[in-house]
Amino acid sequence: MNHSFILQAEWDGGRNSEGRIEAGQLKTAISIPKEMGGPGIGTNPDEMLLGAAATCYLITLAAMMERSGVPVEKLSLESEGIVDVTNNIFTYVSITHKPYVLLKKQASDKDVDLAHRLAEKAEGSCMISRAIAGNVALSTEPRIEKTL
């Protein structure tokens, strides 16, 4: 079964203009970021790729933890995307996910080990990660703790 996602976009001119996108609940202004010589209005493709990879990873990890019965108290994520600019050619080099998993007091040492394994495995199970694999280096640096 296929799922179709539709995005509508408008752009108001040349390179340093701005536009708008709308896809389901996503509605935002877009432009080239200031760091790359643009106006920095709204979001941009670099943030959106990082956002897609991060949200896919986080949702995948949460589902895997739930299915495995890992007693999660809190789950959060910081992700970093690195873009290289050489000879005015922009290349998305890498994405590193840094999940923080706080387990409930009753979590065992086996739960901690399983949480680490799932944090690593979630990267390869995420649809967006699979789509960009081979083009963007992907890594995970999990931090797992138990509530005291």
Stated pTM of the model: 0.92
Number of neighbouring beta carbons within 10 Å of residue 131: 13
* SS3 assignment, position 2: coil
49 and 25 fall within a common domain = no
Strand stretches in the chain, DSSP E: 8-11, 19-23, 26-30, 72-86, 89-103, 137-140, 143-146
34 and 81 fall within a common domain = no
110 and 123 fall within a common domain = yes
- State the residue range of the domain holding 141: 45-146
pLDDT digits (tens, 9 = 90+) for 11-35: 999 999 999 999 999 999 999 999 8
104 and 57 fall within a common domain = yes
17 and 55 fall within a common domain = no
What's the domain count of the chain? 2
CB 61 within 8 A of CB 115: no
Q: How high is the pLDDT of residue 47?
A: 96
pLDDT digits (tens, 9 = 90+) for 73-102: 999 999 999 999 899 888 999 999 999 999
